[in-house]
Amino acid sequence: MTELSAPKINVVVVGGGYAGTLAANHLRRRADVDITLVNARPVFVERIRLHQLACDTGAATAEYDTLLGEGIRLVVDTVERIDAADRRVVLGSGTELDYDYLIYAVGSTGVTPSQVPGAAELAHSVADLESAQRLRYALADLPLASPVTVVGAGLTGIETASELAEQGRPVTLVCGGLLGPSLSARGRRSVAKRLRALGVNVLESVAAREVRWDAVVLSDGAVVPSAATVWTAGFAVPDLAARSGLRTDSVGRLLTDETLTSIDDPRIVAAGDAAAPSGQPLRMSCQAAGPLGAQAANTVLSRIAGSTPAALNQAFVGQCISLGRSHGTFQLARTDDTPVNVALGGRVAASIKEAICKGTLWAIRREAAKPGSYYWLKGGKRPAQSPADRRVALP
């Protein structure tokens, strides 16, 4: 008599960014798990390098066959809906995928405000691959002396402005408020010093009121000439969770408990920018995404094994900012991600930043080759738990 083998457990990972790709590889710790990764693009996007792609100073994609472990199935498609009641994912092509567990790792993107005239129609973005490519083409058609305006003085805006200015382009950085609001006073001085050396015109405490094809109108009435405007302010996540009837925070991130499990469905676990554990999401960064991916996978593996999943446990080190190809700033932070007044600037910081960018892909590839090898720093404090932090039990 032939002995029948136990059926495999189907896990679908939605989103092939830093969190989703790491989670898919980490799930291979169990041989009885069938893993499907659904992603809208056939290539992995290094989002932390998109400003380089836009400025034609580097590439920002990698092939999935170099990143995914053996046996992981890649489906290139969009996800229209998650049918949680029937444990099914409906794809844009009409295909349906059944799952036993689902990891929700759809990531995030930028947003241009509809209340700013001209922003949505005329401003460029570096928040996704296609937008960065369009900006690259637009810049290629502009003389080097043409003025460029970057709106938003967070890390993306700072990196984009620096990359452009290092090429010799005249750049204005419209901060809206403070330059580098997530930095300490020392970190901000380090960034400001390099921006001055690059000739960037930094405008603090003033916002963009209107975007025109050849200028940006500021909140104080000034008009800044701009042959190309790059909008880096704002944050959004795909509305897949809300469309699927799952509860989200005000931005659209999936609400989970501290094990990263959806508060609506114990079979759905979230990771990355689109996760809001206890209603308190971590900062958008690959520094958070990788560990969240591994921990989401661990939650699924624990549930398969019938054990209690561990609560979220990770810590931050700091923020590393590229200021062109030759300089950078490394802002140190407490484990809860609040900055300390210590920062390292210059070529050493640029080398650290580049090592981190390369190391992120290296870690994903290592996890593909040796599941369970991924390491992340633990011990960071979490905010006080909200009512959303309640455990969910399997039916």
Max distance between CA atoms of the chain, in angstroms, equals: 84
pLDDT string in tens for the chain (395-residue length): 445 567 899 999 999 999 999 999 999 999 999 999 999 999 999 999 999 999 999 999 999 999 999 999 999 999 999 999 999 999 999 999 999 999 999 999 988 888 999 999 999 999 999 999 999 999 999 999 999 999 999 999 999 999 999 999 999 999 999 999 999 999 999 999 999 999 999 999 999 999 999 999 999 999 999 999 999 998 899 999 999 999 999 999 999 999 999 999 999 999 999 999 999 999 999 999 999 999 999 999 999 999 999 999 999 999 999 999 999 999 999 999 999 999 999 999 999 999 999 999 999 999 999 999 999 999 987 755 544 444 444 44
Both tokens of residue 322?
């590229």
CATH topology of domain 124-231: FAD/NAD(P)-binding domain (3.50.50)
- Beta-carbon contacts of residue 239 (< 8 Å; ≥ 6 apart): 252
Give the residue range(s) of CATH 3.50.50.60 domains in the chain. Answer: 9-40+77-108+237-314, 124-231
Both tokens of residue 277?
């554990």
Which CATH number does 9-40+77-108+237-314 carry? 3.50.50.60
